[in-house]
Amino acid sequence: MFSCGGISIGFGGSHALFDGIGAFNFLASWAHISSGKDDSDLTLPNHSRDALLHAIYSPNSSRSSTTSSIYEQEHITAIQDLYGIPMQAVASDDRCWETALSRFGQIDPQGGLVLVTLSMKKEAIETWKRVEIKKGKLSKCSTFDVLCAHVWKARVMALKLHPNTNICLQFPVDSRSRLRPPLGENFSGNAFVLASVSCLVKDLLEEPLHCTIQRIQSAKNVITNEYIKLYAKALESLDKFFPSMRELTIITDWLRFPFHALDFGWAKVSSAALLATPVPETAFLMLNLEESGGFLVRIGIEKQHADDLINNFNNLNYISIGSSSSSD
C-alpha cells in the first residue's frame, strides 16, 4: 500500500499449471470478485485435462512417436530447429545430442543478465504495417508480426554473432482453437506450443522487414491439429533438455491481455510490469498502460549487449526506407 492510496499486487505462476492465457483469466476473475461485481458474470474456468488428453491419445489422433528421444523428433519443427543449432556446429558425427548441447552457445553466467524495457509508439507500428501492405509485400500484418520481427533483428544484431551462425526464433501459439476438438477459451491449463523459424544470421540481418514477417507468418501456419498432438507427445520424452543459448530468441505475445481493464476495487490498473523472464532469451510484448496505444518489450540480455540492443530497437530505418521506396 502506497501513501497515495494505491496498491501493488504481485503474482507468480508455473507453466506446469497454466499458460499466459490461463494466468490472465485467473487475474481477471480475481479482480472481478475483489471489486464486488456479480459472480454470475464470471466465466468459469475449465480445469479438466480430460479433453486435452482425449484429443492427443484418441484412436484417431496422429501417429505415435517411434522414438523415446526428443532429439530425434524430425517431424516437429520447433524441436528440430532448437537442437539443430549446436549440431550444425559440431564437426564430428560421433558426438551425441546431449554432449553437443552441453558445450555449445551457453550464455556466460558471469557476464550478468539485465532486464531491459523497450517502448514503441503505436504510430511506428501502424506505419510499418501500412507501408509493407501498400507495397504488396504482405496481404496482412499484425502488431505481433511487426514487433516480433523487429525485436528478433535487434537482439541478433546486438549479439554480434558470426554471419554464418544458425539462429532460431520461437514463439508460443495458443492451441485452444487449433486443436480438434477445440479446448475452449476457458481452458485454464498449459495449451501453448512453440512455432519456430530458423535461418543464418546474415540472412536475417540482410533481408527486409517484410521477409522476416513472412517467415513468422509461415511458422504460425505450421501449428495444425496434427502438429499439436505430435508436439505434446514428444514432450513426454525422458531426455528433455532445454539449453540456454544466445542463438535462440523466444518472444511471447502478451499484447492480447488487457491489463488496463483489471479493477480490483481501487480503480483500474495503471501499470503492469514483468519482474523476471523464465529464461534469458525470452522477450515479452505488452501494452504500455502509461501511453495509450503504445507497446512495451521486456527482455533479458547479457549486460555487455544491452546498449546495442536499445540502439538497434530504437533505429526505425525500416520506416524511412520503406516510405521512400514506396514513393519511387
Q: What are phi and psi of 284, to 5 degrees?
A: -115, 125
Q: What letter would DSSP give residue 267?
A: S
Q: Identify whether 210 is a catalytic site residue.
A: no
Distance of CA 234 to the CA centre of its chain: 20
pLDDT at 319 (0 to 100): 56
In which residue ranges of the chain is pLDDT below 70? 59-75, 80, 82-111, 237-244, 318-328
Asked whether the beta carbons of 47 and 17 are under 8 A apart, the reply is no
Residue written as grid cell 504500455:
288
3-state DSSP call for residue 223? coil
Asked whether the beta carbons of 279 and 84 are under 8 A apart, the reply is no
pLDDT at 278 (0 to 100): 74
pLDDT at 65 (0 to 100): 47
pLDDT tens-digit series, residues 56-72: 777 665 554 444 555 55
10 Å CB burial of residue 26 (0-12, 13-18, 19+) is: middle
Instruction: Measure the CA–CA gap between 131 and 320, rounded to whole angstroms.
Output: 10
Cell of 239: 531426455
pLDDT at 86 (0 to 100): 56
pLDDT at 84 (0 to 100): 65
Strand order from edge to edge, sheet including 295-302: 113-120, 295-302, 282-287, 248-253, 166-174, 192-200
10 Å CB burial of residue 114 (0-12, 13-18, 19+) is: middle
Report the predicted TM-score, pTM, of the whole model to 2 decimal places. Answer: 0.84
Indicate the residue type of 206. Answer: E
pLDDT at 237 (0 to 100): 67
The mean pLDDT of the chain is 82
Q: What is the dihedral of CA 152, 153, 158, 160, to 10 degrees?
A: 110
pLDDT at 211 (0 to 100): 95
**Partners of 197 in beta bridges:** 169
pLDDT at 241 (0 to 100): 55
- DSSP-derived secondary structure for 144-195: HHHHHHHHHHHHHHHHT--TT-EEEEEEEEE-TTTSSS---TTB-S--EEEE
Asked whether the beta carbons of 282 and 275 are under 8 A apart, the reply is no
pLDDT at 308 (0 to 100): 96
pLDDT at 187 (0 to 100): 93
Nearest to 104 by CA among 130, 79, 85: 85
Asked whether the beta carbons of 282 and 299 are under 8 A apart, the reply is yes
User: What domains lie within the chain, and their CATH numbers?
Assistant: 65-327 (3.30.559.10)
Indicate which residue of 15, 54, 210, 305 is catalytic. Answer: 15
